[in-house]
Structure 1
Amino acid sequence: MFYEDLSEYDYQDEDAFTDRESGYYAAWYRPEYTRLNIGWLESGEPYSTGWVSTAFVEKLKAVQEVQWMNVCLGVHECDLCPAAVAPEGNGELRIPGRPGTAYAAPFLITHYVTAHGYRPPQVFIDAVLAVDLDVWAAARWPNVPFPWVPEDAERMLE
Protein backbone atom coordinates (compact mmCIF):
# COMPACT_ATOMS: atom_id res chain seq x y z
CA MET A 1 0.00 0.00 0.00
CA PHE A 2 1.77 3.16 -1.18
CA TYR A 3 1.24 6.69 0.06
CA GLU A 4 3.62 9.52 -0.67
CA ASP A 5 5.56 10.77 2.35
CA LEU A 6 3.95 13.77 4.05
CA SER A 7 0.66 13.33 2.15
CA GLU A 8 -2.47 13.43 4.28
CA TYR A 9 -3.41 10.08 5.82
CA ASP A 10 -6.95 9.01 4.95
CA TYR A 11 -6.90 5.22 5.24
CA GLN A 12 -9.03 5.08 8.41
CA ASP A 13 -11.27 7.75 9.89
CA GLU A 14 -10.55 6.75 13.48
CA ASP A 15 -7.38 5.97 15.39
CA ALA A 16 -7.43 2.99 17.74
CA PHE A 17 -4.87 2.06 20.37
CA THR A 18 -4.81 -1.48 21.72
CA ASP A 19 -3.49 -2.19 25.20
CA ARG A 20 -0.19 -3.98 24.68
CA GLU A 21 -0.45 -6.01 27.88
CA SER A 22 -3.95 -7.42 27.48
CA GLY A 23 -4.10 -7.29 23.69
CA TYR A 24 -7.82 -6.79 24.20
CA TYR A 25 -8.68 -3.39 25.67
CA ALA A 26 -8.80 -0.55 23.17
CA ALA A 27 -9.34 3.18 22.91
CA TRP A 28 -10.62 4.70 19.71
CA TYR A 29 -11.52 8.18 18.57
CA ARG A 30 -11.78 10.45 15.57
CA PRO A 31 -8.49 12.40 15.67
CA GLU A 32 -8.55 16.18 15.83
CA TYR A 33 -4.97 16.33 14.57
CA THR A 34 -3.81 16.08 10.96
CA ARG A 35 -2.17 12.75 10.15
CA LEU A 36 0.65 12.69 7.60
CA ASN A 37 1.83 9.49 5.90
CA ILE A 38 5.39 8.31 6.41
CA GLY A 39 6.96 5.13 5.03
CA TRP A 40 4.10 3.53 3.15
CA LEU A 41 6.34 1.84 0.58
CA GLU A 42 5.42 -0.38 -2.33
CA SER A 43 7.40 -2.16 -5.00
CA GLY A 44 7.70 -0.04 -8.14
CA GLU A 45 7.17 3.26 -6.32
CA PRO A 46 10.13 5.56 -5.61
CA TYR A 47 11.24 6.27 -2.05
CA SER A 48 14.05 8.21 -0.39
CA THR A 49 17.15 6.31 0.66
CA GLY A 50 20.13 7.26 2.75
CA TRP A 51 21.86 7.04 6.09
CA VAL A 52 19.97 7.31 9.36
CA SER A 53 21.49 7.27 12.83
CA THR A 54 21.57 4.22 15.04
CA ALA A 55 19.87 6.34 17.72
CA PHE A 56 16.90 6.89 15.40
CA VAL A 57 16.59 3.19 14.53
CA GLU A 58 16.82 2.14 18.17
CA LYS A 59 14.24 4.72 19.25
CA LEU A 60 11.88 3.67 16.44
CA LYS A 61 12.17 0.02 17.52
CA ALA A 62 11.53 1.00 21.13
CA VAL A 63 8.40 2.96 20.17
CA GLN A 64 7.12 -0.12 18.37
CA GLU A 65 7.54 -2.13 21.56
CA VAL A 66 5.17 0.14 23.51
CA GLN A 67 2.60 1.42 20.99
CA TRP A 68 -0.02 -0.80 19.36
CA MET A 69 -1.96 1.34 16.92
CA ASN A 70 -4.67 0.35 14.41
CA VAL A 71 -3.77 -3.32 14.77
CA CYS A 72 -5.64 -5.34 12.14
CA LEU A 73 -6.55 -9.00 11.92
CA GLY A 74 -4.89 -9.37 8.53
CA VAL A 75 -1.25 -8.70 7.72
CA HIS A 76 0.64 -6.71 5.13
CA GLU A 77 3.77 -8.29 3.68
CA CYS A 78 6.78 -6.31 2.54
CA ASP A 79 6.54 -6.56 -1.24
CA LEU A 80 10.10 -5.21 -1.58
CA CYS A 81 11.37 -8.58 -0.27
CA PRO A 82 11.13 -11.97 -1.96
CA ALA A 83 7.81 -13.55 -0.96
CA ALA A 84 9.45 -16.47 0.84
CA VAL A 85 11.20 -14.19 3.34
CA ALA A 86 8.92 -11.13 3.41
CA PRO A 87 8.23 -9.90 6.93
CA GLU A 88 4.67 -9.00 7.87
CA GLY A 89 3.12 -6.09 9.70
CA ASN A 90 -0.40 -5.55 10.94
CA GLY A 91 -0.51 -2.14 12.53
CA GLU A 92 0.64 1.44 12.50
CA LEU A 93 2.53 3.99 14.57
CA ARG A 94 1.56 7.51 15.55
CA ILE A 95 4.36 9.95 16.28
CA PRO A 96 3.49 13.49 17.38
CA GLY A 97 4.98 16.22 15.21
CA ARG A 98 4.45 19.94 15.38
CA PRO A 99 1.26 20.94 17.25
CA GLY A 100 -1.80 19.55 15.48
CA THR A 101 0.16 17.10 13.31
CA ALA A 102 0.97 13.42 13.85
CA TYR A 103 2.88 11.10 11.57
CA ALA A 104 1.18 7.87 10.50
CA ALA A 105 3.59 5.06 9.65
CA PRO A 106 3.10 1.35 8.98
CA PHE A 107 4.50 -1.09 11.49
CA LEU A 108 6.95 -2.27 8.80
CA ILE A 109 8.73 1.10 8.80
CA THR A 110 11.69 -0.14 10.84
CA HIS A 111 12.13 -3.01 8.38
CA TYR A 112 12.02 -0.56 5.47
CA VAL A 113 14.72 1.56 7.11
CA THR A 114 17.03 -1.29 8.09
CA ALA A 115 16.53 -3.72 5.17
CA HIS A 116 15.81 -1.40 2.25
CA GLY A 117 17.70 1.76 3.13
CA TYR A 118 14.57 3.90 3.37
CA ARG A 119 15.26 7.34 4.79
CA PRO A 120 12.14 9.02 6.19
CA PRO A 121 11.81 12.81 5.99
CA GLN A 122 13.93 14.64 8.56
CA VAL A 123 10.83 16.01 10.35
CA PHE A 124 9.80 12.42 11.14
CA ILE A 125 13.29 11.45 12.28
CA ASP A 126 13.34 14.48 14.58
CA ALA A 127 9.86 13.67 15.90
CA VAL A 128 10.82 10.07 16.71
CA LEU A 129 13.95 11.23 18.51
CA ALA A 130 11.83 13.69 20.53
CA VAL A 131 9.47 10.99 21.89
CA ASP A 132 9.72 10.70 25.67
CA LEU A 133 10.03 6.95 25.67
CA ASP A 134 10.08 6.68 29.47
CA VAL A 135 6.63 8.29 29.65
CA TRP A 136 5.27 6.17 26.80
CA ALA A 137 6.66 2.92 28.23
CA ALA A 138 5.20 3.74 31.66
CA ALA A 139 1.68 4.24 30.27
CA ARG A 140 -0.70 1.61 31.62
CA TRP A 141 -4.28 1.02 30.61
CA PRO A 142 -6.48 3.05 30.34
CA ASN A 143 -3.67 5.46 29.39
CA VAL A 144 -1.98 4.86 26.05
CA PRO A 145 1.49 5.71 24.73
CA PHE A 146 0.52 8.79 22.72
CA PRO A 147 -0.14 12.26 24.12
CA TRP A 148 -3.10 13.42 22.04
CA VAL A 149 -5.81 10.90 22.90
CA PRO A 150 -8.87 12.96 23.88
CA GLU A 151 -10.46 12.49 27.27
CA ASP A 152 -13.73 11.47 25.62
CA ALA A 153 -12.19 8.64 23.56
CA GLU A 154 -14.30 5.50 23.60
CA ARG A 155 -12.66 2.78 25.65
CA MET A 156 -13.38 -0.94 25.67
CA LEU A 157 -12.88 -1.71 29.34
CA GLU A 158 -14.03 -5.33 29.50
Structure 2
Amino acid sequence: MPVFYEDLSEYDYQAEDAFTDRESGFYELWYRPTYTRLNVGWLEAGRPYSTGAVPAAFVEKLEAVREVQWMNVCLGVHECDLCPAEGAPEGNGEVRIPGPPGIAYAAPALITHYVTAHGYRPPQVFIDAVLAVDLDAWAAARWPDVPFPWVPQDAERMLE
Protein backbone atom coordinates (compact mmCIF):
# COMPACT_ATOMS: atom_id res chain seq x y z
CA MET A 1 0.00 0.00 0.00
CA PRO A 2 1.64 3.26 -1.07
CA VAL A 3 2.04 6.05 1.43
CA PHE A 4 2.61 9.53 -0.02
CA TYR A 5 3.43 12.74 1.80
CA GLU A 6 4.74 16.00 0.37
CA ASP A 7 8.35 16.71 1.28
CA LEU A 8 8.66 18.90 4.37
CA SER A 9 4.97 18.53 5.30
CA GLU A 10 4.31 17.70 8.94
CA TYR A 11 4.52 13.98 9.75
CA ASP A 12 1.37 12.60 11.35
CA TYR A 13 1.44 8.90 10.46
CA GLN A 14 2.14 7.75 14.03
CA ALA A 15 1.75 9.75 17.24
CA GLU A 16 4.75 8.10 18.92
CA ASP A 17 8.26 7.32 17.80
CA ALA A 18 9.60 3.86 18.65
CA PHE A 19 13.15 2.55 18.43
CA THR A 20 13.86 -1.18 18.36
CA ASP A 21 17.18 -2.58 19.54
CA ARG A 22 18.89 -3.71 16.35
CA GLU A 23 20.83 -6.48 18.07
CA SER A 24 18.02 -8.21 19.93
CA GLY A 25 15.18 -7.16 17.60
CA PHE A 26 12.99 -7.25 20.69
CA TYR A 27 13.80 -4.50 23.18
CA GLU A 28 12.06 -1.27 22.38
CA LEU A 29 11.59 2.26 23.61
CA TRP A 30 8.85 4.66 22.63
CA TYR A 31 7.78 8.20 23.39
CA ARG A 32 5.61 11.03 22.10
CA PRO A 33 8.07 13.41 20.40
CA THR A 34 8.29 17.02 21.51
CA TYR A 35 9.99 17.95 18.24
CA THR A 36 8.21 18.55 14.94
CA ARG A 37 8.65 15.74 12.42
CA LEU A 38 8.80 16.69 8.74
CA ASN A 39 8.25 14.15 5.95
CA VAL A 40 10.96 13.44 3.41
CA GLY A 41 10.92 10.80 0.68
CA TRP A 42 7.43 9.32 0.99
CA LEU A 43 7.04 8.63 -2.74
CA GLU A 44 4.21 7.05 -4.69
CA ALA A 45 3.82 6.09 -8.36
CA GLY A 46 1.96 8.74 -10.31
CA ARG A 47 3.01 11.56 -7.98
CA PRO A 48 5.79 13.94 -9.03
CA TYR A 49 8.98 14.10 -7.00
CA SER A 50 12.22 16.05 -7.20
CA THR A 51 15.07 14.39 -9.09
CA GLY A 52 18.74 15.19 -9.48
CA ALA A 53 22.25 14.34 -8.41
CA VAL A 54 23.18 14.01 -4.74
CA PRO A 55 26.64 13.71 -3.20
CA ALA A 56 27.98 10.16 -2.94
CA ALA A 57 28.84 10.82 0.71
CA PHE A 58 25.16 11.57 1.37
CA VAL A 59 24.03 8.22 -0.09
CA GLU A 60 26.68 6.31 1.88
CA LYS A 61 25.83 8.02 5.15
CA LEU A 62 22.07 7.70 4.63
CA GLU A 63 22.39 3.96 4.06
CA ALA A 64 24.65 3.59 7.10
CA VAL A 65 22.12 5.47 9.25
CA ARG A 66 19.34 3.26 7.94
CA GLU A 67 21.31 0.18 8.93
CA VAL A 68 21.93 1.28 12.53
CA GLN A 69 18.61 2.97 13.31
CA TRP A 70 15.59 0.70 13.64
CA MET A 71 12.78 3.23 13.87
CA ASN A 72 9.02 2.53 13.83
CA VAL A 73 9.60 -0.99 12.51
CA CYS A 74 6.25 -2.53 11.57
CA LEU A 75 5.11 -6.11 11.10
CA GLY A 76 3.96 -5.44 7.54
CA VAL A 77 6.08 -4.17 4.67
CA HIS A 78 5.85 -1.36 2.17
CA GLU A 79 6.86 -2.22 -1.39
CA CYS A 80 8.37 0.31 -3.76
CA ASP A 81 5.51 0.93 -6.18
CA LEU A 82 7.87 2.83 -8.51
CA CYS A 83 9.49 -0.51 -9.40
CA PRO A 84 7.92 -3.32 -11.41
CA ALA A 85 5.76 -5.45 -9.09
CA GLU A 86 8.00 -8.49 -9.26
CA GLY A 87 11.20 -7.98 -7.34
CA ALA A 88 10.26 -4.59 -5.88
CA PRO A 89 12.26 -3.90 -2.71
CA GLU A 90 10.40 -3.73 0.57
CA GLY A 91 10.82 -1.64 3.69
CA ASN A 92 9.20 -1.85 7.09
CA GLY A 93 10.40 1.08 9.08
CA GLU A 94 11.50 4.67 9.10
CA VAL A 95 14.53 6.87 9.63
CA ARG A 96 14.79 9.94 11.88
CA ILE A 97 17.39 12.58 11.13
CA PRO A 98 17.81 15.56 13.48
CA GLY A 99 17.51 18.93 11.76
CA PRO A 100 17.61 22.40 13.26
CA PRO A 101 16.48 22.68 16.90
CA GLY A 102 12.97 21.30 17.29
CA ILE A 103 12.85 19.62 13.83
CA ALA A 104 13.46 15.99 12.88
CA TYR A 105 13.08 14.59 9.38
CA ALA A 106 10.94 11.45 9.02
CA ALA A 107 11.77 9.25 6.04
CA PRO A 108 10.76 5.72 5.01
CA ALA A 109 13.33 2.93 5.22
CA LEU A 110 13.23 2.77 1.41
CA ILE A 111 14.61 6.28 1.02
CA THR A 112 18.10 5.16 -0.05
CA HIS A 113 16.49 2.98 -2.71
CA TYR A 114 14.43 5.94 -3.97
CA VAL A 115 17.61 8.02 -4.27
CA THR A 116 19.76 5.39 -5.96
CA ALA A 117 17.20 3.56 -8.15
CA HIS A 118 14.76 6.34 -9.01
CA GLY A 119 16.90 9.48 -8.95
CA TYR A 120 14.96 11.06 -6.08
CA ARG A 121 16.64 14.19 -4.73
CA PRO A 122 15.54 15.04 -1.20
CA PRO A 123 15.36 18.66 -0.07
CA GLN A 124 18.78 20.23 0.54
CA VAL A 125 18.02 20.71 4.25
CA PHE A 126 17.64 16.93 4.58
CA ILE A 127 20.84 16.24 2.64
CA ASP A 128 22.70 18.68 4.90
CA ALA A 129 21.18 17.12 8.03
CA VAL A 130 22.21 13.60 6.98
CA LEU A 131 25.74 14.78 6.24
CA ALA A 132 25.89 16.33 9.74
CA VAL A 133 25.04 13.06 11.54
CA ASP A 134 27.86 11.78 13.77
CA LEU A 135 27.74 8.29 12.31
CA ASP A 136 30.49 6.93 14.56
CA ALA A 137 28.48 7.85 17.66
CA TRP A 138 25.26 6.46 16.19
CA ALA A 139 26.89 3.17 15.14
CA ALA A 140 28.47 2.81 18.59
CA ALA A 141 25.13 3.23 20.41
CA ARG A 142 24.16 0.07 22.26
CA TRP A 143 20.91 -0.67 24.04
CA PRO A 144 19.47 1.05 26.03
CA ASP A 145 20.99 3.96 24.10
CA VAL A 146 19.65 4.43 20.57
CA PRO A 147 21.10 6.11 17.47
CA PHE A 148 19.16 9.38 17.73
CA PRO A 149 20.07 12.28 20.03
CA TRP A 150 16.63 13.57 21.07
CA VAL A 151 15.17 10.64 22.99
CA PRO A 152 13.73 11.99 26.25
CA GLN A 153 14.94 10.56 29.57
CA ASP A 154 11.39 9.48 30.42
CA ALA A 155 10.90 7.36 27.28
CA GLU A 156 9.09 4.10 28.01
CA ARG A 157 11.28 1.05 27.60
CA MET A 158 10.36 -2.58 27.05
CA LEU A 159 13.30 -4.39 28.58
CA GLU A 160 12.03 -7.96 28.79
Asked if these proteins are the same fold (TM beyond 0.5), I'd say: yes
Seq. identity, %? 85
Which SS does the other structure have where 1:16 is aligned? strand
**Structure 1: stretches of 5+ with no match in the other structure:** none
**Which residue of structure 2 aligns with residue 128 of structure 1?**
130
- How many Å apart are 1:44 and its aligned residue? 0.5
In structure 2, C-alpha distance between the alignment counterparts of 1:23 and 1:85, rounded to whole Å? 25
Of the three residues 3, 17, 24, the one matched with 1:22 is 24
In structure 1, C-alpha distance between the alignment counterparts of 2:66 and 2:98, rounded to whole Å? 14
Of the three residues 137, 140, 147, the one matched with 1:138 is 140
What does 1:31-70 align with in structure 2 at a 5 Å threshold? Answer: 31-70=33-72
Which SS does the other structure have where 2:13 is aligned? coil
The alignment covers a number of residue pairs equal to 158
**Which residue of structure 2 aligns with residue 115 of structure 1?**
117
In structure 2, C-alpha distance between the alignment counterparts of 1:10 and 1:47, rounded to whole Å? 20
Which SS does the other structure have where 2:86 is aligned? helix
Which SS does the other structure have where 1:63 is aligned? helix
Q: Deviations over 1:65-107 (max 9, x none)?
A: 1100000000000000000021000000000000000000000
In structure 1, C-alpha distance between the alignment counterparts of 2:141 and 2:157, rounded to whole Å? 15
In structure 1, C-alpha distance between the alignment counterparts of 2:77 and 2:67, rounded to whole Å? 18
In structure 1, C-alpha distance between the alignment counterparts of 2:61 and 2:87, rounded to whole Å? 25
- 4+ residue runs of structure 1 moved beyond 3 angstroms? none
Aligned-residue CA RMSD (Å)? 0.3
In structure 2, C-alpha distance between the alignment counterparts of 1:156 and 1:108, rounded to whole Å? 26
In structure 2, C-alpha distance between the alignment counterparts of 1:142 and 1:55, rounded to whole Å? 29
**Structure 2: stretches of 5+ with no match in the other structure:** none
Which SS does the other structure have where 1:55 is aligned? helix
Partner AA of 2:37 in structure 1? R
**Which residue of structure 2 aligns with residue 149 of structure 1?**
151
- How many Å apart are 1:53 and its aligned residue? 0.9
